[in-house]
């Protein structure tokens, strides 16, 4: 058998047309890689036989001269919060461990229509709540670069699957950085589109006004193509922009107006090497003719508190549906009063971090504290949005660190939830404002771990964001 290698979708499709590769070879390669790296714990379920059957069918179709779909034979993994009909869907939680999805998420329908091969569901923090993938009912996901370190979260399995070459691309979800931060920790690309660019239908909700399905990949071209497929119109999600997404195209190198927040780069929690690398890259851009300016952003310290007040409030509401009555985990104890029945189901089914966030969300929504917390957080969000709109009148791109440190060691922050939450300081900004953001794998740390830089543009301006990213990745 020929040795299969994957560099990009474009090269893969060229090889398929020329007969120097096949979809079946690709799937067999990835199934072997998954099996050899089981210890990474990236997958919750692998759909090997089904993927092989699809691959063989696609190989036969090409022989008939049928045109190839845009994702023909592209092997993709999906986070275990995205519905795939007749397949397990658990959100990495015991409360849904035996649940089977009754329908496809819109993104799944769109990928299958373009002839993608879905190889499995990917591990994550329970209900997408976490920054380290240590909150899963299936156990920790390990960083392939250093197995004693976290891969980031909540989409840790999605990041590691691409990092460890177990699939070509993967989908995650990003509520406060859950695509960009693990991409940063794993040294790959991670894109969070604009809120409303991609349908959330079939995505298990954490915080509905923040959640967005995102993409992991190795090249900007591949990420752009997958975005083009999954974005756009959907009758099942009223928040989706109904216009067709922009078609990816490279443009000649251009000069950008780039801003970064002075407070972000001067923050005491930022690793000095990360700060130095970003400032050095900014100086390089100045020499190349780009405009790069440090601008004040006095709201930075309010972003994380506002984010956690609002997302936990929404989580408290969204997760109320998981009560053990209609589906999911049900306590084996019999003869309980209804209130006790609910309490047992939720106490035994949910993990520690999910229960912490539900309780916090219930507290900030309670009558005595609603105005003091929830209303104030909404006001902060509005101020941040208004300030961001003003920034994009003068600049094309905002750059920030993706995370304040490289991937930390397993268990290092597990007993300090505040330290874990503060790790999101640079990523939650894009979710509060709804703008698109991408983590670019540009740097390496002296501790041996990769780290990236985050770039953001104005709402629904993914085309410019991807063009900027492509240009910067060529340097």
Q: Which of 136, 154, 316, 439 is catalytic?
A: 154
Annotation marks residue 90 as catalytic:
no
Report which of 89, 91, 75, 82 is spatially closest to residue 162, judged by C-alpha positions: 75
Annotation marks residue 317 as catalytic:
no
Q: Which of 22, 79, 132, 316 is catalytic?
A: 79
Annotation marks residue 458 as catalytic:
no
Q: Which secondary-structure segment (H or E) carries 398?
A: strand 397-401
Q: Which of 136, 155, 178, 458 is catalytic?
A: 178
Residues across the chain: 475
Distance CA 201, CA 220 (A): 25
- Asked if 162 and 216 touch (Cβ cutoff 8 Å), the reply is yes
Residue 14 CB-half CA count within 13 A: 7
Strand arrangement, sheet containing 43-46: 43-46, 117-122, 75-79, 169-173, 213-217, 189-192, 437-444, 450-456, 397-401, 257-261, 291-295
Tokens found for residue 203: 């995505």
- Asked if 82 and 173 touch (Cβ cutoff 8 Å), the reply is yes
Distance CA 246, CA 254 (A): 19
Q: What is the DSSP letter of 231?
A: B
SS3 content of the chain, % helix, strand, coil (to 5): 40, 15, 45
Catalytic residue IDs: 79, 154, 178
């Amino acid at each position: 058998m020929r040795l299969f290698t994957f560099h990009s979708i474009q090269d893969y499709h060229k090889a398929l047309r020329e007969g120097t590769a096949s979809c079946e070879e690709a799937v067999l390669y990835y199934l072997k890689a998954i099996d050899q790296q089981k210890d990474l714990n990236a997958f919750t379920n692998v759909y090997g036989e089904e993927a092989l059957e699809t691959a063989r069918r696609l190989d036969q179709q090409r022989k008939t001269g049928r045109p190839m779909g845009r994702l023909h034979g592209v092997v993709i993994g999906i986070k275990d919060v995205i519905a795939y009909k007749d397949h397990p869907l658990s959100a990495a939680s015991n409360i849904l461990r035996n649940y089977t999805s009754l329908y496809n998420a819109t993104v799944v329908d769109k990928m299958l229509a373009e002839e993608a091969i879905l190889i499995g569901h990917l591990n994550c923090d329970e209900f997408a709540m976490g920054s380290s993938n240590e909150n899963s009912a299936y156990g920790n996901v390990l960083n392939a670069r250093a197995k004693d370190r976290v891969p980031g979260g909540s989409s840790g399995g999605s990041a590691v699957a691409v990092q460890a070459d177990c699939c070509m691309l993967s989908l995650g979800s990003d509520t406060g950085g859950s695509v960009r931060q693990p991409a940063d920790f794993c040294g790959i690309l991670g894109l969070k589109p604009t809120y409303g660019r991609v349908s959330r239908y079939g995505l298990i909700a954490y915080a509905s006004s923040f959640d967005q399905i995102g993409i992991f990949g190795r090249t900007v071209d591949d990420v752009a193509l997958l975005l083009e497929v999954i974005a756009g119109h959907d009758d099942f999600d009223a928040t989706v922009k109904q216009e067709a997404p922009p078609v990816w195209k490279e443009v000649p190198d251009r000069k950008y107006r780039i801003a970064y927040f002075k407070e972000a780069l001067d923050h005491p929690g930022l690793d000095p090497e990360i700060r130095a690398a970003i400032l050095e890259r900014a100086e390089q851009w100045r020499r190349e003719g780009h405009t790069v300016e440090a601008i004040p952003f006095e709201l930075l310290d309010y972003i994380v508190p506002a984010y956690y007040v609002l997302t936990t409030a929404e989580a408290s509401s969204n997760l109320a549906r998981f009560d053990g009555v209609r589906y999911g985990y049900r306590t084996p104890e019999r003869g309980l009063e209804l209130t006790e029945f609910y309490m047992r189901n939720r106490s035994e089914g949910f993990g520690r971090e999910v229960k912490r966030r539900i309780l916090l969300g219930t507290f900030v929504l309670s009558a005595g504290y609603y105005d003091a917390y929830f209303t104030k957080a909404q006001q902060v969000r509005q101020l941040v949005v208004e300030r961001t709109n003003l920034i994009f009148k003068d600049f094309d791109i905002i750059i920030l660190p993706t995370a304040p440190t490289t991937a930390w060691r397993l268990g290092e922050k597990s007993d300090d939830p505040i330290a874990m939450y503060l790790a999101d300081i640079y990523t939650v900004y894009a979710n509060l404002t709804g703008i698109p953001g991408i983590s670019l794998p540009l740097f390496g740390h002296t501790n041996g771990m990769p780290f990236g830089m985050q770039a953001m543009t104005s709402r629904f301006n993914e085309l410019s964001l991807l063009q900027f990213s492509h240009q910067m990745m060529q340097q």
